[in-house]
Amino acid sequence: MALSTLLPDETLTPVDTKKAKLVQTINPVEEIHAVQPELIKSSYPEVLSSESHSDFRDELARNGFAVVKGAIPPERAAHYREKAKDWLLSFGGKLDFENRETWTDENLPSQNVIRTFASYCVAHEKFMWDARQETGVLDAFSRLWGTDKLLVSFDSLNVTFPNRLDVPRRQPWEHIDQSPLKRGVHCVQGIINLSPSGPEDGGLVVYPRSHRYNDELFDSMSVEDKQSWLPLKDIYFFKKEQLDWFHERGVKAHKVCAEPGDLILWDSRTIHYGSDPMDSSSQIRTAIYAAYTPASMASPDQLALKKQVFEKYGGTTHWPHDHIVVRNSHVMLPDGSRDPRDRDEPLEMPEKSDQLLRLAGVKAYD
């Protein structure tokens, strides 16, 4: 589950119990002796299996992440960044991008647990859909999966102000967005990067090559510890001693640096987190999360739900084809009333072209 789209009450809600099956071994006196959760293989085992493409796929396969330079021309990246700014300013209030004093919750629309914007129909704003349909972005994911018949997630917008005065910096939250039960490539996540992201700026931190070690770590866990993987949920947080285990193997945190217009990709098995800007950074982070998977991965049930979410201009996790939940997407205030700034539709409607509707899962591919 992409935390970027979690609503406050859903932090770690198990999302899918149906797929996680139990294999029980019965001892001679017929009492349940051990319960081994059954592993789930990738339906695309050949994806990222080779490192000889001579493009970003090799790095993605080798290191578990890659930066596709200039996937979007810089002027269009700047345009999307401005649109994100306009969107934030459209809520009124005292927010001023030039005045740090105003970068407070009071002046911002409601955020989710990881302080990204997932409500107010933002996932369906025209600028979000335009960015998701950028040729360089679609090409990268088409090449990766070997098909251009893709679905995209209705994921959130990240605008992170540096050195906020009202909230503490977020601590690292090392995780993967794929269940330990799922083996192989099941999902590749994307960040459409819209602001400079240097070593001290906010942005994605990854543990390069961690995707190659996870199976070993997970297999070494006791059958009792494996019970925490059930019911199946596509998120797993790492404990300090587990991170030490990676460190011993030379696998450690690395801040991904990128320019506006770069597309950052990572295998959902790669340990990662979104880092807040350091004290020394004055850069406002702007990024759009967007993941694409082949439409053939979605079941008819999930597609039907995705259509309903689309019609309500709602959001999803970063999984484009799975974990679709039709939520009441109203933004509620602490006193239980609906946020008067809430919206039933995007501020600026996207053009509902065939391409958009296919990516949204609303119209079938031929």
Ligand X SMILES: O=C(O)CCC(=O)C(=O)O
- Length of the chain in residues, anyone? 366
Among Fe ion, ligand X, none, residue 180 binds (CB under 5-8 Å by kind): none
Among Fe ion, ligand X, none, residue 1 binds (CB under 5-8 Å by kind): none
**Closer residue to ligand X in complex, CB, 191/298:** 191
CA 114 and chain centroid, separation = 11
**Closer residue to ligand X in complex, CB, 265/303:** 265
**Closer residue to ligand X in complex, CB, 269/272:** 272
Q: Which one, of 120, 143, 138, 135, lies nearest residue 359 by Cα?
A: 138
Q: Which one, of 11, 7, 9, lies nearest residue 235 by Cα?
A: 11
Helix (H) or strand (E) holding 285: strand 285-289
Q: How far is the CB of 117 from Fe ion (least distance, A)?
A: 16
Residue nearest to ligand X (CB): 274
* Tokens read off for 130: 């335009």
3-state helix, strand, coil in the chain (%, to 5): 30, 15, 55
Touching Fe ion, residues 143-182 (CB under 5 A): 177
3-state secondary structure of 172: coil
Q: How far is the CB of 31 from ligand X (least distance, A)?
A: 41
Q: How far is the CB of 143 from ligand X (least distance, A)?
A: 22
Q: How far is the CB of 365 from ligand X (least distance, A)?
A: 26
Give 84: exposed, middle or buried? Use CB within 10 Å, 0-12, 13-18, 19+. Answer: buried
Residue nearest to Fe ion (CB): 177
Q: How far is the CB of 326 from ligand X (least distance, A)?
A: 21
| Pairing mode, strands 40-41 and 182-183 | parallel
Q: How far is the CB of 30 from ligand X (least distance, A)?
A: 44
Among ligand X, Fe ion, none, residue 156 binds (CB under 5-8 Å by kind): none
**Closer residue to ligand X in complex, CB, 189/358:** 189
Among Fe ion, ligand X, none, residue 115 binds (CB under 5-8 Å by kind): none
CA 92 and chain centroid, separation = 28
Among ligand X, Fe ion, none, residue 204 binds (CB under 5-8 Å by kind): ligand X
**Closer residue to ligand X in complex, CB, 271/343:** 271
Instruction: Please give the Cα distance from 310 to 325 (Å, whole number).
Output: 11
One-letter amino acid at 312 equals K
Q: How far is the CB of 287 from ligand X (least distance, A)?
A: 7
Instruction: Calculate helix-pair angle for 56-63, 135-145, nearest 10 degrees.
Output: 60
**Closer residue to ligand X in complex, CB, 117/358:** 117
Instruction: Please give the Cα distance from 41 to 182 (Å, whole number).
Output: 6
Among ligand X, Fe ion, none, residue 107 binds (CB under 5-8 Å by kind): none
Instruction: Please give the Cα distance from 85 to 3 (Å, whole number).
Output: 22
**Closer residue to ligand X in complex, CB, 274/314:** 274
Query: 189 φ, ψ to 5°?
Result: -95, 155
Q: How far is the CB of 266 from ligand X (least distance, A)?
A: 8
Among Fe ion, ligand X, none, residue 289 binds (CB under 5-8 Å by kind): ligand X
**Closer residue to Fe ion in complex, CB, 48/303:** 48
Contacts to ligand X by CB under 6 A: 2-4, 158, 177, 189, 191, 203-204, 272-274, 289, 318
| CA–CA distances in Å: residue 100 to residues 24, 95, 168, 169, 275 | 57, 9, 14, 15, 19
- Cross-strand partners of 109: none
Helix (H) or strand (E) holding 36: strand 32-37
Among Fe ion, ligand X, none, residue 153 binds (CB under 5-8 Å by kind): none
Residues that bind Fe ion (CB under 5 A): 177
